[in-house]
Structure formats: structure tokens, C-alpha cells
């Protein structure tokens, strides 16, 4: 067991989203508040009520996976593999450097291999059950992404998937922190991945009223905390971080980018999709994360909000933030105006954005925020990048089922 107070370092980060194929490109797009939403191109959406999404364009997994193998892996796992490669490269993690049994993998997803599920259901209906792919199960299972990453690199430590809807990526980071704190792993590859822009998924989310209907103006569709918000834009992508104990990172000479200093999870226990309107459980989640980090609210330099662009979520989150941080709280941003909502990948991608922003002291503005409409008023970053003093960031992820997760990340 490690000594009490073991610190968890971030030594590598990777991101593939509609805003870019790597962390640097993503940050450029996010800081420019340039929306990545557009008409759906992966399939014919002409008969759908919602015909827009934020897709990862021109994604090519063949630098990491041979074409014949890529056809046997769902897009959700291929995105995770790609983001992991960037994170591991930045971390400088070399084969054999650390006992593989001490390296874990925790990669979450809200729905897993949904593309494969839908394709094979159509195959069964149109061509019969004997034509269903024998590879469907390993392609659709939610733990496939974690399994593929572990298999590719020979990581033999704890390997798991966490599925808590839109909190999956953030929950996975928290679980990785605990694996290191408890001494069960020295290094953990953590994050989230999602590829759920499918005909049935889009139809279902549209039917429940969760998606923006701005088909004629997709770039303006995702507008967190804005008076004209009418729902989120479905996105896809993956975010991965390499976590390791301070002792291990120091021993191998890794560059420490920052620290995960606190995390917490709670449940609204209110409604299966709608957030608790008074934000009680979200307040508790943020407060517990700050306590885990040993920080008072005044010690947070900025907040990366969940900020989905749905009327109920943005309102409840603003109420919760105001309760925790008071009238003079830190700057608040949401990057979903650019990337759309990456569901199970959102929390991990936004942890990457949040930590880089905290290190640089540059908070990106909320895209499409022209007329803020939340009560009580919070300090929303709008118009242009906000320069702040470097310091810890609080990153929120709130998912269907009432799942809440808050992370506190600090610059090195």
C-alpha cells in the first residue's frame, strides 16, 4: 500500500473529437469558439427530424490498426485507440519500462458499440439470423475499448469500463485515481469514448426532445446557457489521460502536466433523464470533490461546466454552481458549443480541455453565447478567451440516471 497522500499525476493526454484529431487542434478550435456541428454525413438523415450532429471528419484508424483488423472493431473502440496513442506518446511510456501488471485501463462509454448493433440488427432483419456477424458481441460490448487498449499494449493490470451515461469519462478518471491511491496500480490509462451518431440513437434522442432542431443552422445549434438554447448537438470522439503516481512519474523522468487532486460522484435520485432542478446532488458532488482536493471554493480558478445546451441542465447547473461558489464565483465555460455533446467521452475530453486551460491560464469562451439566460447569474466566459491566473479547474459531468461526477485538476 502507498503512503497516505499519494499524488496522482497526469503525464499524457489525447483527444479525437469533431474539433480536431489531436489535443493541439482541439484547443485551437475551442479557443476560437468555432462550432464543429454540421449536417450528418455518415448516413442518409433526410427522413429524420434532427439531421445535424458533430461528427469526427476523415477519421482514419489505419496508423494504429491494420485495415483488416479495423473492420472487426467498432468505431467507438477505434476512436479510443487513436486518442490513447497520442496520450501514451506524450507520456513517453515505453514498453517494459513498468511492470505490465501494474498498468491499468479504465475507459468508459455511455452506450458502447452502437454502430455495430444497429448494422447487425438490420442484417438480421433483411438477410436472416444466420448472417449476423460472429464478431458482433466483441464489437458491441461496452468494455471492448478498454480491452483493445490493454491488448494492444500488453497492459495486464485492472481493466474495466464504466458506463454512467454522460458522466462515464469523468467517472473513469476518478476510478483510475483510486486505483493509484490504493496502490493497486502505478499507471492507469483513463478516459471515455463514444460513437453514437446512428439512425436509431438520433431518432430516440430527438423523440425525447433532447436535441437541438436547428437543421438549417447547425453551427449555432449548440449554445450552452443561452436564452435560445433548445437542446444539445450529438457528438462523438474520445479523450484519454495517462495517470501515474508521483513516485513513478518522478522515477522515470516523465514530464508532469498536472494533477488530479480531487473527485467525487453523487446521484440526483430524482428522475431517469431530467436533472434535479434545485441542483442539490450537484452541489454535494462539487463540494465533495473540493473537499477531496483540500480546496475551498475560492481556490478554484475556473469551472468547465457540463453545460449541454438543454434548458433544464444548464439552469440546474447554474443554480448548483452559485450555491457552491457564491455571487463572486470563478469564470465558467462549456466547450460543448464547439464539440457538441460527446456523451460518455465528454467528461474525459473536457478534463483534457480544462487541465490545459488551467496550465495556460486561458479559458475558452462559450460558443454561441449571445444572450445569457441563467438565474442566478454566474460568470460565463463569452466573446473571447479569458486570461486568468493559473490554478485548479473544476470539471463537471452530469449524466442521465442522475449521475454526477466532478473532477478537480491542478497545473503542475
| Catalytic residue annotation | 166, 306, 341
3-state secondary structure 204-228: HHHHCCCECCCCCCHHHCCCCCECC
Q: Which stretches of 66-192 are DSSP H helices?
A: 67-70, 75-91, 114-127, 136-140, 144-153, 168-181
Could you tell me which residues come within 8 angstroms of residue 9 by beta carbon, excluding any fewer than 6 positions away?
A: 243, 244, 245, 246, 249, 254, 256, 257, 258, 259, 412
The answer to whether 337 touches 222, Cβ cutoff 8 Å, is: yes
**d(C-alpha 32, C-alpha 286), whole Å:** 28
C-alpha distance from residue 105 to each of 152, 184, 236, 332, 369 (Å) = 12, 12, 20, 31, 37
Phi-psi label, residue 128: left if phi above 0, alpha if psi -120 to 50, beta otherwise: left
Give 108's strand partners.
192
The answer to whether 76 touches 149, Cβ cutoff 8 Å, is: no
Give me the long-range contacts of 83-86 (CB less than 8 A, separation at least 24): 83/14, 83/15, 83/16, 83/191, 83/193, 83/237, 83/238, 83/239, 83/240, 84/14, 84/149, 84/189, 84/191, 84/238, 84/240, 85/14, 86/12, 86/13, 86/14, 86/15, 86/16, 86/22, 86/23, 86/240
Give 99-128 as a DSSP string. Answer: -GGGEEEEEE-SS-SHHHHHHHHHHHHHH-
Per-residue DSSP letter, 159: E
Per-residue DSSP letter, 166: G
The answer to whether 275 touches 406, Cβ cutoff 8 Å, is: no
Per-residue DSSP letter, 43: S
Amino acid at each position: 500500500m502507498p503512503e497516505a497522500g499519494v499524488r496522482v499525476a497526469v503525464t499524457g493526454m489525447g483527444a479525437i473529437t469533431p474539433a480536431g484529431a489531436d489535443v493541439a487542434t482541439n484547443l485551437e478550435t475551442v479557443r476560437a469558439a468555432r462550432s464543429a456541428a454540421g449536417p450528418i454525413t455518415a448516413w442518409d438523415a433526410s427522413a429524420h427530424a434532427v439531421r445535424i450532429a458533430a461528427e469526427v471528419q476523415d477519421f482514419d484508424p489505419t496508423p494504429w490498426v491494420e485495415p483488416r483488423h479495423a473492420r472487426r472493431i467498432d468505431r467507438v473502440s477505434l476512436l479510443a485507440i487513436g486518442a490513447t496513442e497520442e496520450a501514451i506518446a506524450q507520456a513517453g511510456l515505453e514498453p517494459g519500462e513498468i511492470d505490465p501488471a501494474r498498468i491499468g485501463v479504465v475507459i468508459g462509454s455511455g452506450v458502447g458499440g452502437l454502430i455495430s448493433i444497429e448494422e447487425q440488427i438490420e442484417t438480421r432483419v433483411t438477410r436472416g439470423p444466420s448472417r449476423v456477424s460472429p464478431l458482433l458481441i466483441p464489437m458491441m460490448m461496452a468494455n471492448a475499448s478498454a480491452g483493445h487498449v490493454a491488448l494492444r499494449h500488453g497492459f495486464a493490470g485492472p481493466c474495466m469500463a464504466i458506463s454512467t451515461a454522460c458522466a462515464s469519462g469523468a467517472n473513469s478518471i476518478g476510478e483510475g485515481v483510486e486505483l493509484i491511491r490504493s496502490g493497486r496500480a502505478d499507471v492507469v490509462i483513463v478516459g471515455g469514448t463514444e460513437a453514437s451518431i446512428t439512425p436509431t440513437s438520433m431518432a430516440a434522442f430527438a423523440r425525447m426532445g433532447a436535441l437541438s432542431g436547428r437543421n438549417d443552422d447547425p453551427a449555432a445549434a449548440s449554445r450552452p446557457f443561452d436564452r435560445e438554447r433548445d437542446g444539445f448537438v450529438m457528438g462523438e470522439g474520445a479523450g484519454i489521460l495517462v495517470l501515474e503516481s508521483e513516485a513513478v512519474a518522478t522515477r522515470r523522468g516523465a514530464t508532469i502536466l498536472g494533477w488530479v487532486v480531487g473527485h467525487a460522484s453523487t446521484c440526483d435520485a430524482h428522475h431517469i433523464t431530467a436533472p434535479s432542478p434545485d441542483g442539490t446532488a450537484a452541489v454535494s458532488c462539487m463540494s465533495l470533490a473540493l473537499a477531496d482536493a483540500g480546496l475551498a471554493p475560492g481556490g478554484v480558478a475556473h469551472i468547465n461546466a457540463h453545460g449541454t445546451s438543454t434548458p433544464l441542465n444548464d439552469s440546474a447547473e447554474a443554480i448548483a454552481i452559485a450555491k457552491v461558489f457564491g455571487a463572486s464565483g470563478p469564470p465558467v465555460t462549456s466547450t460543448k458549443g464547439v464539440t457538441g455533446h460527446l456523451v460518455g467521452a465528454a467528461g474525459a475530453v473536457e478534463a483534457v480541455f480544462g487541465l490545459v486551460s488551467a496550465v495556460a491560464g486561458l479559458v475558452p469562451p462559450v460558443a454561441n453565447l449571445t444572450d445569457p439566460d441563467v438565474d442566478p447569474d454566474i460568470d460565463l466566459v463569452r466573446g473571447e478567451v479569458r486570461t486568468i491566473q493559473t490554478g485548479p479547474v473544476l470539471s463537471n459531468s452530469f449524466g442521465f440516471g442522475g449521475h454526477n461526477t466532478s473532477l478537480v485538476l491542478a497545473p503542475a
